[in-house]
Every structure is written in C-alpha cells, then in structure tokens.
C-alpha cells in the first residue's frame, strides 16, 4: 500500500498506548461506565485532545468523550459529521495487562502464543495475506483490544491529521468515544443534547474494505426457574430441581441455530450463562436475527420451551423475560442514501475495494441510527475479536484513517 506512512505514524503507536488501558466492561454492573478503567482511558483521551488543539472537549458524567473540529472558513453550514468508537473491551476474554506485540515484517510463519495457542496462516487467510507487512498481536494471555481501540486510534489520528493540514477543507466534525458498547448499556445514556452531528460513522469493523450498514435485531432474554427444595433423602415426589430445569431448557435450544453453526444472514439463539441451585436458577440467552418478525418467532419458541419444561417438572415454574437491545439499522440508513454513497466514494478515492456485508452483531451505531442519526460502520483492520488470537493490520488501520480524511473532504462539497 502506498502513501500510508504518515497515517501509520498517526495510529500505530496510539493504538499500542490505548491497548494498555484495562477497559473490560462488566455486563452484570448496571452503572455506566460499568468499570473504572474506562474512566482512565476517557480522561487520557480528553487530555490528549486538548493538547492536540481540538475544540469543545467534553467529558460527560456518564464517561462520554466528545470533541469537535470547527468547519473550514465558509463551510460552517455543511452537514455536521460525527465519528464514533467505544472505549470498553469485551468481558469474554481478559483485557487486563494487555501486551501488544508489534511485528514490523511478518514472515508468514506460525506465530506461537502463550498457553499453547498460535496464529496459523494456514487457517487464517487474512493473516497469510499479511506476509511481509506489519501486524500487532497478543501474547495469548489476553485479547488485544482492537475492538475498539483501533477505532479510537484511527479517529484520533484523523483529527490530528486535519489539525496539521488546514488546507484540507471540511465541514463541522465531531468525535464521540462511548463506554459499555460491549454490554449494550452505554447508549441509553447517550448525550444527544450535546451532539451536533446529523450523520455519523462508527469505526468498529474488521478487514479492510468492509462497509456495514445493516445489522441484527437483538434481544436479551433471562429465563428464571423456580423449584422446590427438599431434603435429598426424602425428596421423592416432592423436590423440583431448578438447576436441572435450566439444564433441560438449555438443551432444547437448537444446536443448528447457534452462533457457531450459522453465518451470513442466518440468526441464532446463544446461551451465555447458566447459574443457580435447587430453588432458583437462571439462564441468559441472546437472540439475534436480521428479520424482526423471525426474531419474534424465536422469542415465541423460548416461551414454548418454558411450558415444556414446566410440564416435565410439575410444581416448578419457568418465566421468560425479554428485552429488545437494538434493531437492524438497514431501513433508516437507506432512507438517507448520502451517508453510504459518500463513504463508498471515499473508499474508491483512496483505492480501497468496497466489501459490503451485514454486521453479525451490532454497534453503538445501531442504536444511534434508531435515535435519528444514521451511522454505518467502517473497517479498522482488526481480526479475531473477543479472542486471545486477536490481531491487527497496521496498514489497514492506517488506510481507514486515510478514508476518514477523504470522507471529511467529500462532505465539504
């Protein structure tokens, strides 16, 4: 890739610095942010932005960082554009004491990690394609945090680039860094009253060229089981074991409709945690589907499973409690075609081949789109998210930064 050196310098070292912050979020904590480390990164980013010369740097009471670049002279009335990334990392794998390893010139061989793990180019075509190119990977003891600290590094590098190049004309620009994206608990407190953007872009994608503007409809479900406790010696015909009820219910979930058995536009059921004892147990499940009505049918199936379990365990109760987390952003984004057309043009102008695909998940952009600000998703160069095998393409991260510069210029026309 040509002409990326300056963008590499703006993003690579920043990412390594941000990765060291322990910002794992906690889905069991209802507070926002759910963990104190997110405050540490937010304060550091706010200070860095002030030192950089960004305008109107705000750190809200709920740990949102907002900063602005005023429009170039004469372009003050152009559409305000926002760029969004999240500060937390997934709780599925440890994000404490992350040790990013920079490989300046990947030799194409298997990379051995801790605990017998490895990165194998024979099993990872993206990695194989990076022979001779710079990558950053974990040591195998933690995730890397490219989801979404690569996005943060890209946006910060982008702002610094424009501050250093006032000759590049642009309209009003805004950055937003959010807490608790991985838990879905940050957006309810999103400070809409402080946001000026009319369109926005999340930097939360993966391989170069990915452009995402449709996502799952998502529900979180808690199934509560109530049993009857008895002395085990005299339990016959009297005890109802809630823990066993939960296990039987979990076994009813279709294995061929799970995350590990589906891809593309196929939805799924995903049991996330199961806990309890004889009297009380619970099962947490995520429902995902691109079609809203199909998702509703999955919820109906969960209610049917609950009745079936109650029939097997007379005297026991199974209660299904569901909550809509976010909706597919496709319809609302298609209502504002400019938000996609300009991004497609920015990719083209910077030599990036567009790969449009659905997000098998969601971003803060999913919720923000629901709230009236259309927000598609842009690649960052990360791979194997939420994993000890996570790695990041340095050049693709830099290429994403260059795309943002081009996108900002397009919005000035």
Say whether 413 sits in a helix, a strand or coil: coil
Residue whose pair of structure tokens reads 């449709």 in the numeric block: 214
Which two three-digit tokens encode residue 375?
Answer: 């927000």
Give pLDDT, residue 2: 53
Residues labelled as active-site residues = 88, 181
Say whether 150 sits in a helix, a strand or coil: helix
Give pLDDT, residue 3: 81
Q: Domains of the chain (ranges plus CATH)? A: 5-215+328-410 (3.40.630.10), 217-326 (3.30.70.360)
Give pLDDT, residue 27: 87
Single out the residue of 381, 378, 374, 380 nearest to residue 347, CA to CA.
378
- For the chain, residues with pLDDT lower than 70 are 1-2
Q: DSSP H helical segments within 359-393, as ranges?
A: 364-370
Which two three-digit tokens encode residue 83?
Answer: 């760029």
Q: How far apart (Å, rounded) are the C-alpha atoms in residues 28 and 295?
A: 24
Give pLDDT, residue 188: 79
Strands 280-289 and 382-383 come out as unpaired
Give pLDDT, residue 1: 47
């Amino acid at each position: 890739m040509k002409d990326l050196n300056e963008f590499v310098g703006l993003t690579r070292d920043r990412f390594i610095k941000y990765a060291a912050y322990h910002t794992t979020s906690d889905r069991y904590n209802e507070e926002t942010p759910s963990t104190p480390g997110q405050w540490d990164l937010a304060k550091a980013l706010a200070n860095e932005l002030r030192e950089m010369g960004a305008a109107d740097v705000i750190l809200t009471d709920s740990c949102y960082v907002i900063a602005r670049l005023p429009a170039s002279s004469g372009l003050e009335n152009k559409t305000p554009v926002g760029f969004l990334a999240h500060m937390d990392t997934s709780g599925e794998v440890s994000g404490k004491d992350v040790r990013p390893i920079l490989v300046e010139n990947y030799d194409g061989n298997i990379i051995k990690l801790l605990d017998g793990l490895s990165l194998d180019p024979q099993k990872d075509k993206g990695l194989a394609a990076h022979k001779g190119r710079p990558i950053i990977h974990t040591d195998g003891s933690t995730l890397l945090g490219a989801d979404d600290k690569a996005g943060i590094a890209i946006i910060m590098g982008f702002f610094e680039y424009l501050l250093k190049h006032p000759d590049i004309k642009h309209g009003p620009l805004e950055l937003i860094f959010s807490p608790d994206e991985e838990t879905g608990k940050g957006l309810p407190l999103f400070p809409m009253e402080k946001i000026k953007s009319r369109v926005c872009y999340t930097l939360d994608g993966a391989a170069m060229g990915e452009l995402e503007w449709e996502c799952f409809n998502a529900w979180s479900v808690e199934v509560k089981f109530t049993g009857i406790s008895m002395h085990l010696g005299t339990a016959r015909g009297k005890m109802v074991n809630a823990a066993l009820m939960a296990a039987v219910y979990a076994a009813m979930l279709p294995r061929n409709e799970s995350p590990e058995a589906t891809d593309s536009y196929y939805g799924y059921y995903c049991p996330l945690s199961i806990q309890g004892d004889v009297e009380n147990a619970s099962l947490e499940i995520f429902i995902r589907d691109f079609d809203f009505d199909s998702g509703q049918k999955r919820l109906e199936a969960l209610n049917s499973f609950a009745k079936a379990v109650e029939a097997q365990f007379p005297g026991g109760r199974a209660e299904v409690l569901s909550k809509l987390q976010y909706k597919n952003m496709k319809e609302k984004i298609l209502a504002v075609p400019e938000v996609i057309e300009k991004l497609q043009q920015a990719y083209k102008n910077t030599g990036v081949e567009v790969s449009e695909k659905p997000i098998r998940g969601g971003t803060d952009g999913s919720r923000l789109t629901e709230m009236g600000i259309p927000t598609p998703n842009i690649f960052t160069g990360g791979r194997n998210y939420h994993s000890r095998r996570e790695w990041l393409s340095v050049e693709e991260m830099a290429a994403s930064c260059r795309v943002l510069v081009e996108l900002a210029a397009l919005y000035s026309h």
